[in-house]
Amino acid sequence: MSLLLAVGLMIAGVVLIVYQPPRTAVPYNNKLLGVAALIVGIGMFVYKTAVVIPAGHVGVVDFFGNVTKNTLKPGINFVNPLARVVRMSIKTQELKELANVPSQEGLTVSLEVSVLYHLDPEKAADVYKTVGPVYQEILLVPQFRSVIRTVTASYEAKALYTSMREKLATNIKTDLETLLNPRGILIENTPLRNISLPQRVTEAIEEKLSAEQESQRMQFVLQKEKLEADRKRIEAQGIADYQKTVSQGLNELLLRWKGIEATEKLANSANSKIVVIGGKDGMPLILNSEK
């Protein structure tokens, strides 16, 4: 409608500029009105041909059902004034899903998960032609819900509660990429926000985990005690070997020699003692002469 108005104003402006009224008519400035109408018409026409695409968006040109493959980039673009431009966001968007999903053993698990995604700018025109501007509701939401249930059904509830959560999130992301990347929706990440199990299951898992930790602690204690016993055994064996070696080296001649050495030291000392040589077994006798 505004385009027709712009064309009409331009035609009227040209007519007023060219048309010369008869002398008998009421005088008025045709050229001034014509120039004004022409300027307004040209301005409206340019406004219709110039399209501004905001940052984080691309423009899909729809000319009476004929969608051009090349999309408009952010900024000012000039298009056919008769064409319709559909702006589609290529920013990162988040979709949250809270669902009750089954585990491998048939338990119902409450799972809160998000998916971060964005539209592939190179495939925006294809998405518009095949799905439409509301592609999230048509493609992403049902596929996301289906993948969540399919992936969690292959894990036990214990796995969802422990360190396997990261692997679960990775599998969800991989399956979504396989389904949606060819359709023009790029998956960035699928973080798990929260997992809630039935109360009895949670308590049973916590008790089992606590028992496993206690078992690992006892194994550590037993290993420590075993190492300590081995150390003491080696120490005792060393002492026994030493004593055996010393006892084998003690004979009668060595003892007599050590006795003679002791006698010499006592004889040279200032202590008032009497040393008698040739005692029993040939060893010296030391008598105390002090009263």
**To which residue do tokens 């493959």 refer?**
69
Which is higher by pLDDT, 13 or 110?
110
Q: In the chain, pLDDT over 70 holds for what percent of residues?
A: 62
In the chain, the percentage of residues whose pLDDT exceeds 90 is 24
Q: Cα-Cα-Cα-Cα dihedral of 228, 230, 236, 237, to 10°?
A: -160
Task: Output the pLDDT for position 147.
Answer: 92
Residue environment code for 191-203, b if the CB has 16+ CB neighbours within 10 A, otherwise e: eeeebebeeebee
pLDDT tier at 104, thresholds 50, 70, 90: confident
Q: Which of 30-39, 52-61, 112-121, 145-154 shows the lowest mean pLDDT across its residues? A: 30-39
Range in 32-41, 126-135, 200-209, 236-245 with the lowest mean pLDDT: 32-41
Query: Which of the pair, 261 or 61, is modelled with greater confidence?
Result: 61
What is the residue-averaged pLDDT of the chain? Answer: 76
Mean pLDDT of 164-188: 91
Q: Are 36 and 43 in contact (CB under 8 A)?
A: no
Which tens digits make up the pLDDT trace of 35-52?
Answer: 665 566 566 556 667 788
What's the CA gap between 43 and 2, in Å, rounded? 11
Contact 247, 239 (CB under 8 A): no
Q: Is 187 exposed, middle or buried (0-12, 13-18, 19+ CB in 10 A)?
A: buried
Quick one: DSSP state of residue 127?
A: H
pLDDT tens digits, 187-219 = 999 998 887 776 666 666 667 777 777 788 888
- For residue 163, pLDDT over 70 is answered with no
Residue 122 has pLDDT above 70, yes or no: yes
Does pLDDT of 162 surpass 80?
A: no
Report the predicted TM-score, pTM, of the whole model to 2 decimal places.
0.58
Question: What burial class does residue 9 get, using C-beta atoms within 10 Å of its C-beta: 0-12 exposed, 13-18 middle, 19+ buried?
Answer: buried
Check if the beta carbon of residue 111 is closer than 8 Å to that of residue 101. yes
pLDDT at position 9: 52
Q: Which residues contact 136 (CB under 8 A, 6 or more apart)?
A: 93, 95
Query: What residue ranges define each of the domains in the chain, with the CATH number in brackets?
Result: 2-89 (no CATH), 98-197 (3.30.479.30), 252-288 (no CATH)
CA distance 185 to 118: 6
Question: Where do we find the tokens 């048509």?
Answer: 138
* Cβ neighbour number for residue 152 with a 10 Å cutoff: 23
Q: Which bin fits 184, alpha (ψ -120 to 50), beta or left (φ > 0)? A: left
Among the residues of the chain, which ranges form H helices?
2-18, 30-49, 124-130, 135, 141-152, 157-161, 165-180, 199-249, 252-267
The least confident of 42-51, 64-73, 151-160 is: 42-51
SS3 29: coil
Phi-psi region of 62 (alpha: psi -120 to 50; beta: other; left: phi over 0): beta
Which range of 16-25, 74-83, 93-102, 195-204 scores highest in mean pLDDT? It is 93-102
